[in-house]
Amino acid sequence: MIPELIPELGPLRSEPLERGDQLWREGNRDDALRAYTEELERDAADHFTRGMAHKRVVTLLAERDGIDAAFAHYELARVDERDLMIAPGEVLLCATVQDEAERLPFFLDYYERLGVDRFLLVDNDSHDATRQLLLDRPNVHVWASGMRYWRANYGMAWLDVILYAHGRGHWCVIVDTDEHLWYPGVEERDLHELCAALEREGAVVMQAVLLDMYSETAIREASCPPGSDPASVCGYFDRKFSHSCTEHATPWSNIDAFWGGVRRRVFGSESDVFLSKVPLVRYSDDTVVLAGTHGTAVPPDAVASERGALLHFKFTSRFVERLEAEIRSRSEWDSQGESYSTYARMIATEPDLTLYDPRQSVALRDSTQLVELGVMRAASLNGDATSADAVVVGDYVARMHDEVPGWFTEVDASLFRAVDAAQRAAGVHGDLLEVGVYLGKSAVLLGYLVRPDEEVVAWDLFSGARLAGEADAQFYVELTQAAFEENYARFHARAATAYAQPSSEIPAAGLGRRFRFVHVDGSHRYDIARDDIAAALDLLIDGGVLVVDDYRTLPHALGVAAAAWEAVADGRLVPVLASDQKLYGFAAGRESGLRELLQGAAHDFAAMPGLDLDVAGNAVTVFSTNALTTGEGERDESGADDQPPTAAGTEEVAELRRRLELIENSRTWRLRAKLARLLPTRRR
């Protein structure tokens, strides 16, 4: 009879829900209500079907008996006596609170500044000053409920009733009090502007990644004084903010599912938390938000192209103080992938446990940083590489051996990406230069890493004839600038700026100190390599990285080896990473505190374990296919690791490469490292 008020079940399957819908359509609302209640009692019900069932219960009760019946059903009683006249266009915030007197003042101010006009809150049995504090604020409306929190779908059913009564047609922020919503440009755009932009693209929800924030200190010392901004105490997050992401997840293929993050790093796989949330919703009759706002049943094209972040201030001293109580209250209901007993056990054995790790922890700066790191996503990518593009970059690396002739390994591709990731995290902006591009195998990767306001500069002789006499000149006979440019254009709409000159001209070219990345991969003669390194070091900005190719390749590149180690021994080049082919370092005095972050990123990106070494007083992480450096933890029980790399036959090599490509970018590092070691090393 009112089927248009029922949000479609879509891909969901549930016998009680389907029966209830049929009964409702036939006008038998009493039995429909019983069927929906049956769904709520069903052990096999999940977040999706439960969210649907609650939404149907609220709508059905409101239609059958009036909205007061829905308030009564969920035992909701209004506490404040203020007029509740919501003007069109008001942005609302809905939340369930319990004993939040310390957090609420800043929380309410924060969201008011962001553009929230009115707060609709459920006080779930607070015993501190929460109730009075809320009643004292002019734009806050409060309800209380005697129902158990988890019975009310972890609070979401309460919010469904309130929003059905007062919020339909309004944009509504649905968050917990320890969550601060961020979105691209949050510093300049308020929520009204954001929601207008979302409406223009036809979106009704915006997703966000839950970003756990923490302090540099032990968790138990991270105390946030009442009324203070928790970000001033907990100002760090993990550069690797999630361990896995599945795009177009959920039965509706509508949001990107992020898992893991710092909780998984520190507390292990038992804390593989689901990090995707839907905290901003244009509420309507058919908006279904799942418990904990961990999902929604809307079509994919109704999800905003922008993605926000929910800064999550869970890990403060209060977390440790309340751990026991939390375990007791959570024993009644599931804990969404978290293991509170693991938290308790680890904190008991290590009271000063900290989440801070210099190889992972990044200081929060601004919304641009979160977009660049792929936590958030801007509406228009403008060719910028973000986590969405990480798939595209990975795709190029997987195909590059088939697509572009040249000399560039997957390991170095990973390390290039690690440098870029660390620089994004640390806010290092600058251009990218490659000396010796050949047909662009590595330069094309730089083209994926460059940001819209940066430039790729490609420097090469582009003429084998001018290299006459050099051992490897024979390889470059056919090389022309046009061939490089055509190749590069196959991958990138924006061209690199090319210089067809000997590298000895670099100092006179006046490029300026503006590069965050310089890859020296040109001549193998000692005198030229020495000058290239010197010129490159001059061009690096703070936090910039120099990569020297062939610093140890035999037989023809001993000159580069001499030049590279001379620069290291002189203290001008400060090494930080090394692969079989390339040495990575900073210009002396321009390390900019990036070393550990870069090494952490390299460990994450590389498809093999790294070995941390002291090299002439410098902490260097080495990634090598040499079995000696593969590390104890990764040894294969079959003994295959003990075998020297084989010179496999062509077909075998092709098959191995095919298998490697299949698992490229997957987390099967161990298998990948094993396969990689079976392949003959690519050498010129």
Ligand X SMILES: C[S@@+](CC[C@H](N)C(=O)[O-])C[C@H]1O[C@@H](n2cnc3c(N)ncnc32)[C@H](O)[C@@H]1O
Q: State the amino acid at position 431 in one-letter form.
A: D
By CB under 6 A, name the one of 376, 437, 449, 607 that touches ligand X. 437
Whichever of 94 and 563 has its CB closer to ligand X, that residue is: 563
Whichever of 172 and 583 has its CB closer to ligand X, that residue is: 583
Structure tokens at 85: 């006249």
By CB under 6 A, name the one of 222, 528, 602, 660 that touches ligand X. 528
**Phi and psi based region of residue 292 (left: phi greater than 0; alpha: psi -120 to 50; beta: remaining):** left
Alpha-carbon distance 342 to 617, whole Å?
Answer: 39
Under 8 Å between Cβ of 392 and 449: no
Token match 């990106």: residue? 605
Whichever of 219 and 546 has its CB closer to ligand X, that residue is: 546
Rounded to the nearest whole angstrom, what is the least distance from the CB of residue 507 to ligand X in the complex?
13
Whichever of 299 and 680 has its CB closer to ligand X, that residue is: 680
Q: Rounded to an integer, what is the distance from CA 310 to the centroid of its chain?
A: 12
Contacts of residue 527, defined as CB under 8 A and 6 or more positions apart, other chains included, come to 559
- In the chain, % helix, strand, coil (3-state, to 5) comes to 40, 20, 40
467 is a contact residue toward ligand X (CB under 6 A):
yes
Count Cβ atoms below 10 Å from residue 270 Cβ, excluding itself: 14
Q: State the amino acid at position 536 in one-letter form.
A: A
Count Cβ atoms below 10 Å from residue 178 Cβ, excluding itself: 21
Rounded to the nearest whole angstrom, what is the least distance from the CB of residue 323 to ligand X in the complex?
52
Whichever of 33 and 400 has its CB closer to ligand X, that residue is: 400
By CB under 6 A, name the one of 160, 521, 604, 664 that touches ligand X. 521
By CB under 6 A, name the one of 24, 315, 407, 586 that touches ligand X. 407
Cis amide prior to 7 (ω within 30 degrees): no
Binding segment for ligand X (CB under 6 A), chosen from 44-52, 190-198, 424-432, 459-467, is 459-467
Q: State the amino acid at position 463 in one-letter form.
A: S
Residue 521: burial class (beta carbons within 10 Å; 0-12, 13-18, 19+): buried
Whichever of 204 and 479 has its CB closer to ligand X, that residue is: 479
Please provide residue 556's backbone torsions phi and psi, each rounded to the nearest 5 degrees: -100, -5
Looking at the chain, how many residues does it have?
A: 684
Whichever of 143 and 408 has its CB closer to ligand X, that residue is: 408
Residue 326: burial class (beta carbons within 10 Å; 0-12, 13-18, 19+): middle
Binding segment for ligand X (CB under 6 A), chosen from 167-175, 184-192, 435-443, 585-593, is 435-443
Residue 373: burial class (beta carbons within 10 Å; 0-12, 13-18, 19+): buried
Rounded to the nearest whole angstrom, what is the least distance from the CB of residue 443 to ligand X in the complex?
7
Binding mask 155-194 for ligand X (x = CB under 6 A): ----------------------------------------
What three-state secondary structure class fits 497?
strand
361 is a contact residue toward ligand X (CB under 6 A):
no
Binding segment for ligand X (CB under 6 A), chosen from 31-39, 185-193, 433-441, 540-548, is 433-441
What three-state secondary structure class fits 406?
coil
Binding segment for ligand X (CB under 6 A), chosen from 108-116, 224-232, 438-446, 593-601, is 438-446
Whichever of 438 and 448 has its CB closer to ligand X, that residue is: 438
Structure tokens at 53: 């069932």
Residues 610-629 binding ligand X (CB under 6 A) are none
Binding segment for ligand X (CB under 6 A), chosen from 6-14, 62-70, 403-411, 555-563, is 403-411
406 is a contact residue toward ligand X (CB under 6 A):
yes
295 is a contact residue toward ligand X (CB under 6 A):
no
503 is a contact residue toward ligand X (CB under 6 A):
yes
Q: Which residue is nearest to ligand X (CB)?
A: 406
Alpha-carbon distance 631 to 625, whole Å?
Answer: 11
Q: State the amino acid at position 360 in one-letter form.
A: Q
408 is a contact residue toward ligand X (CB under 6 A):
yes
Whichever of 256 and 431 has its CB closer to ligand X, that residue is: 431
Whichever of 287 and 523 has its CB closer to ligand X, that residue is: 523
Contacts of residue 313, defined as CB under 8 A and 6 or more positions apart, other chains included, come to 178, 179, 180, 213, 224, 230, 231, 234
By CB under 6 A, name the one of 367, 523, 624, 625 that touches ligand X. 523
460 is a contact residue toward ligand X (CB under 6 A):
yes
502 is a contact residue toward ligand X (CB under 6 A):
yes
Alpha-carbon distance 351 to 58, whole Å?
Answer: 46
By CB under 6 A, name the one of 133, 159, 161, 461 that touches ligand X. 461
Best CA proximity match to 260, nearest among 604, 24, 10, 540:
604
Alpha helices in 404-440 (DSSP H): 410-426
Rounded to the nearest whole angstrom, what is the least distance from the CB of residue 419 to ligand X in the complex?
16
Whichever of 325 and 477 has its CB closer to ligand X, that residue is: 477
442 is a contact residue toward ligand X (CB under 6 A):
yes
DSSP state for residue 178 in the 8-state scheme: T
What three-state secondary structure class fits 602?
helix
579 is a contact residue toward ligand X (CB under 6 A):
no
Alpha-carbon distance 546 to 98, whole Å?
Answer: 53
Rounded to the nearest whole angstrom, what is the least distance from the CB of residue 396 to ligand X in the complex?
12
CA distances from 339 to 331, 333, 461 (A): 11, 12, 59
Rounded to the nearest whole angstrom, what is the least distance from the CB of residue 547 to ligand X in the complex?
10
Rounded to the nearest whole angstrom, what is the least distance from the CB of residue 444 to ligand X in the complex?
8
Alpha-carbon distance 406 to 200, whole Å?
Answer: 46
Whichever of 182 and 408 has its CB closer to ligand X, that residue is: 408
Residue 492: burial class (beta carbons within 10 Å; 0-12, 13-18, 19+): middle
Binding segment for ligand X (CB under 6 A), chosen from 180-188, 199-207, 300-308, 405-413, is 405-413
Rounded to the nearest whole angstrom, what is the least distance from the CB of residue 590 to ligand X in the complex?
24
By CB under 6 A, name the one of 164, 182, 283, 438 that touches ligand X. 438
Contacts of residue 202, defined as CB under 8 A and 6 or more positions apart, other chains included, come to 301, 302
By CB under 6 A, name the one of 374, 522, 559, 585 that touches ligand X. 522
424 is a contact residue toward ligand X (CB under 6 A):
no
436 is a contact residue toward ligand X (CB under 6 A):
yes
Whichever of 383 and 502 has its CB closer to ligand X, that residue is: 502
By CB under 6 A, name the one of 111, 476, 586, 623 that touches ligand X. 476
Rounded to the nearest whole angstrom, what is the least distance from the CB of residue 489 to ligand X in the complex?
16
Whichever of 335 and 481 has its CB closer to ligand X, that residue is: 481
Whichever of 164 and 438 has its CB closer to ligand X, that residue is: 438
Number of amino acids touching ligand X (CB under 6 A): 19
By CB under 6 A, name the one of 103, 417, 441, 595 that touches ligand X. 441
208 is a contact residue toward ligand X (CB under 6 A):
no
Contacts of residue 428, defined as CB under 8 A and 6 or more positions apart, other chains included, come to 516, 541, 542, 543, 544, 592, 594
Token match 């002291």: residue? 614
Whichever of 386 and 503 has its CB closer to ligand X, that residue is: 503
Best CA proximity match to 683, nearest among 597, 555, 568, 564:
555
Residues 478-497 binding ligand X (CB under 6 A) are 479
**Which residues contact ligand X (rule: CB under 6 A)?**
406-408, 436-438, 441-442, 460-461, 467, 476, 479, 502-503, 521-523, 528
